[in-house]
Amino acid sequence: MNLSVEEIAQLVDGEIIGNTTSLIINFNRIEHSGNGDITFFSDESFRKYFEQCGATCVIIQKNENSIPKENQVFIKVENPYFSFIHLVEKLATKEEEQKGIHHTAIINETAKVSPSASIGANCWIGANVVINDDVVLKPNVVIYDNTRIGKGTILHANSVCYQDTEIGENCIIHSGAVIGSDGFGFIEEPDGSYTKIPQIGNVKIGNNVEIGANTTIDRAFVGSTIIGDGVKLDNLVQIGHNVEIGENTAAAAQVGIAGSVKVGRRCRFGGQVGLAGHFEITDDVSLIAQSGVASSILKKGVYGGSPARDRLTYFKNEAVIHNLSQLAKDVAKIKRHLDIE
């Protein structure tokens, strides 16, 4: 990237405060930015970094009244964060994928691979696999039999899709993800041993889904584990067998969802949220980080704690816990006053 501030302002429909001819060569975070960088400021918790910032250009809100330093320029917009993202999408260098099949890839003769797909080194593709237009398999991707991968989807290095997996269009699956491994299904015998329950279902993933590194999605016992359109799963998420996740739901790192849970649309789960099996979460539910859910949530809203409670109850409980040591002292003092053992 090598653009003038004036050119950048045109891209974000912004108002320039300062020198219009300054050149920008790089994007950077506000706390690490310097000469030639462009960054943004929209969160008051970062004001100290904004005041110390050495970036050549800072995108700021229209109502921000600060004056740029010498050799610095501001661009005023409605939403600095969104404008910065827009710039990154337009200007960041994108890797060009080479079409075709690397000579070290192993592909079953019954597989159908689009000529516009990119198959990297040491990939393994099983029988009856269908790989559609513009799919990218990075090195060492393994695709078991009867899997279908939709147009424009990218699977990063060392990801694995077990048999019968169905992946929609324009998905991104990051390194180390495992799609379609056996669900955790066993019968406990009278002697305490376990007998494995066959897992003969599959995983179905919709369009525009992103699955983080080392995330695992188990195949169904029967039927399908379903990940809806637009779902975003962070790294190290575990999805159990026969789970259904509604469209545009997002789960942060280390979320665990046990088998047969049905999650609605547009839900938001913070890090390390845990859901026990066999219940339902309705649409538009947000779970605060480390919440534990043991039963259905049928009313939209924000919940927290373990077991999860509505937001108001959760924060009231947290306030009591925060003061627990002082409450214990007060109770002990009262007991002494009343001569109670």
Per-residue DSSP letters for 175-189?
TT-EEEEPP--EEEP
Are 62 and 79 contained in the same domain? yes
Q: Which of 43, 67, 91 is the last residue of a domain?
A: 91
Are 154 and 206 contained in the same domain? yes
CATH number at residue 305: 2.160.10.10
Structural domain boundaries, residue 72? 3-91
Rounded Cα–Cα distance for residues 140 and 86 (Å): 33
Work out the percent of the chain whose per-residue pLDDT is above 70. 100
Amino acid at 3: L
Are 51 and 111 contained in the same domain? no
Cite the DSSP H helix spans in the chain: 5-12, 47-52, 80-91, 311-322, 324-337
- Using N-to-C axis directions, what is the helix angle for 80-91 and 5-12, rounded to 10°? 110
Are 50 and 185 contained in the same domain? no
Residue 147, pLDDT above cutoff 90: yes
> Strand 15-17 relative to strand 73-77: parallel, antiparallel, unpaired?
antiparallel
pLDDT at residue number 331? 92
Residue 229, pLDDT above cutoff 90: yes
Query: How many structural domains compose the chain?
Result: 3
CA distances from 57 to 33, 128, 246, 280 (A): 9, 53, 40, 48
Are 304 and 278 contained in the same domain? yes
Q: What is the pLDDT of residues 30-58, one digit of tens each?
A: 999 999 999 999 999 999 999 999 999 99
Q: Which of 41, 65, 91 is the last residue of a domain?
A: 91
Are 320 and 308 contained in the same domain? no
Give 11-68 as a DSSP string.
HHT-EEES-TT-EE-EE--TTT--TTEEEE---GGGHHHHHH---SEEEEETT--PPP
156 carries an active-site annotation: no
Residue closest to 282 by CA, chosen among 267, 298, 304, 259:
298
CA distances from 168 to 151, 154, 173, 180, 224 (A): 7, 11, 11, 15, 14
Cβ atoms within 10 A of the Cβ of 61, count?
16
Dihedral (C-alpha) 31, 35, 39, 45: value to the nearest 10 degrees?
A: 30
Q: 221 with 185: CB under 8 angstroms?
A: yes
Are 255 and 339 contained in the same domain? no
Residue 40: beta bridge partners? Answer: 59
- Provide the mean pLDDT of the chain: 96
- Position with higher pLDDT, 81 vs 1: 81
pLDDT at residue number 339? 86
pLDDT at residue number 20? 82
Are 158 and 205 contained in the same domain? yes
- The size of the chain, in residues, is 341
pLDDT at residue number 21? 82
Residue 113, pLDDT above cutoff 90: yes
Are 115 and 133 contained in the same domain? yes
Are 283 and 224 contained in the same domain? yes
Cβ atoms within 10 A of the Cβ of 98, count?
11
Q: Which of 46, 67, 91 is the last residue of a domain?
A: 91
Are 148 and 30 contained in the same domain? no
Q: Which of 103, 241, 278, 337 is catalytic?
A: 241
Residue 181: beta bridge partners? Answer: 218
CATH number at residue 80: 3.40.1390.10
Residue 61, pLDDT above cutoff 90: yes
Are 86 and 14 contained in the same domain? yes
CA distances from 205 to 68, 153, 292, 339 (A): 48, 11, 25, 66
- Using N-to-C axis directions, what is the helix angle for 311-322 and 324-337, rounded to 10°? 60
